[in-house]
Amino acid sequence: MASNGDHQTTVKPVKPPPSPSPLRNSKFSKSNMRILVTGGAGFIGSHLVDKLMENEKNEVIVADNYFTGSKDNLRKWIGQPRFELIRHDVTEPLLVEVDQIYHLACPASPIFYKYNPVKTIKTNVIGTLNMLGLAKRVGARILLTSTSEVYGDPLVHPQPESYWGNVNPIGVRSCYDEGKRVAETLMFDYHRQHGIEIRIARIFNTYGPRMNIDDGRVVSNFIAQALRGEPLTVQKPGTQTRSFCYVSDMVDGLIRLMEGENTGPINIGNPGEFTMTELAETVKELINPGVEINMVENTPDDPRQRKPDITKAKALLGWEPKVKLRDGLPLMEEDFRLRLGVSKKK
């Protein structure tokens, strides 16, 4: 199947974006950039906050309802004057004076986004509407973390941004993948209608330290299982593929996208592609050669293949991932060992 056109980045806004509040440029303004991160207590969000906080001119505000995130992920910043943490659900309006919004709030693991699907779709639709309303009101630039799941079970491989996808609109994953598709639509409608500065990242499977141990996603499951000496659960048929991006590469890509001139959507992911059986074998070899691999039942609508075409990210952001799966897995293993209290045998 051919790609379905690529008009997104050429769209001209109807009018220029609203100016930021004059206070932001006043001599009383102590920080150069005030940044809101929704979902900042989660896995990717907390690593993003770490990177943003490294710049001493940034002030960072996190809004999170702690559904899948935790204050613990941000403990090193709590009490720091440039950092604020707000318990807030993005399905409710929020008013804060900010220059940039990284909008990540949304459960990402299929187990968690399917747990309360109506809430997931509200988070994607009403949550994104609320954050766009805020961006419009204060003249902020907003970045949405969309997903490779907008391509559904893709019939084009690898997936370029111009591919419109193959998504089941009434399936058990739809609250998430259709939710993110509507969120992308809202971003472009606010851009065209109100001149809001938007950025859309289509994130492919990302892994690294701080993932919830019982998050349910494949890399965290396999590492936790290997460390506990439990069989690795490969969901059938095991030939389905994913491409795994280490979290530091992801954060670098997101910041480049926010700071750059392109609206996106832009795929951010690592093109190294593995079957789930290959992933299990790699985890077994690196972490616990004695562990068994078991085949178990899969869930409906599981995409059969996934690999990003990152031509656009390379050309427009000068970005490509640096960390290979075999180098990233041991970094995550170290974090999981500490949290599970399993030390490495000498």
Ligand X SMILES: O=c1ccn([C@@H]2O[C@H](COP(=O)(O)OP(=O)(O)O[C@H]3OC[C@@H](O)[C@H](O)[C@H]3O)[C@@H](O)[C@H]2O)c(=O)[nH]1
Ligand Y SMILES: NC(=O)c1ccc[n+]([C@@H]2O[C@H](COP(=O)([O-])OP(=O)(O)OC[C@H]3O[C@@H](n4cnc5c(N)ncnc54)[C@H](O)[C@@H]3O)[C@@H](O)[C@H]2O)c1
- Give the Cα separation of 177 and 148 in Å (integer): 9
Residue numbers 33-92 binding ligand X by CB under 6 A: none
- Nearer to ligand Y (CB atom), residue 147 or residue 288: 147
Could you say whether residue 130 binds ligand X (CB under 6 A)?
A: no
Could you say whether residue 89 binds ligand Y (CB under 6 A)?
A: yes
Q: Give Cα separations from 235 to 156, 222, 241, 287 (angstroms).
A: 23, 11, 11, 20
Could you say whether residue 273 binds ligand X (CB under 6 A)?
A: no
E strand residue ranges, 161-292: 198-203, 206-207, 232-235, 241-243, 245-246, 266-268, 273-275
Could you say whether residue 147 binds ligand X (CB under 6 A)?
A: yes
E strand residue ranges, 204-288: 206-207, 232-235, 241-243, 245-246, 266-268, 273-275
Question: Which of ligand X, ligand Y, none has residue 41 at its interface (CB below 5 to 8 Å by kind)?
Answer: ligand Y
Could you say whether residue 104 binds ligand Y (CB under 6 A)?
A: yes
Could you say whether residue 298 binds ligand X (CB under 6 A)?
A: yes
Could you say whether residue 108 binds ligand Y (CB under 6 A)?
A: yes
- Give the Cα separation of 125 and 36 in Å (integer): 18
Residue numbers 28-67 binding ligand Y by CB under 6 A: 38-39, 41-45, 64-67
- Give the Cα separation of 30 and 81 in Å (integer): 11
Question: Which of ligand X, ligand Y, none has residue 221 at its interface (CB below 5 to 8 Å by kind)?
Answer: ligand X
Could you say whether residue 152 binds ligand Y (CB under 6 A)?
A: no
Could you say whether residue 234 binds ligand X (CB under 6 A)?
A: yes
E strand residue ranges, the chain: 33-38, 58-64, 83-87, 100-103, 141-147, 198-203, 206-207, 232-235, 241-243, 245-246, 266-268, 273-275, 293-296
Question: With CB under 6 A as the contact rule, which of the stretches 16-24, 46-54, 103-111, 130-138 interacts with ligand X?
Answer: 103-111
Catalytic residue list contains 246: no
Could you say whether residue 110 binds ligand Y (CB under 6 A)?
A: no
Asked whether 242 and 110 are in contact (CB, 8 A), the reply is: no
Asked whether 253 and 320 are in contact (CB, 8 A), the reply is: no
* Tokens describing residue 143: 């970045």
- Nearer to ligand Y (CB atom), residue 53 or residue 104: 104
Among the listed residues 102, 113, 151, 176, the single catalytic one is 176
Binders of ligand Y: how many residues, by CB under 6 A?
28
Q: What residue ranges bind ligand X (CB under 6 A)? A: 108-110, 147-149, 205, 217-218, 221, 233-235, 240, 242, 276, 298, 302
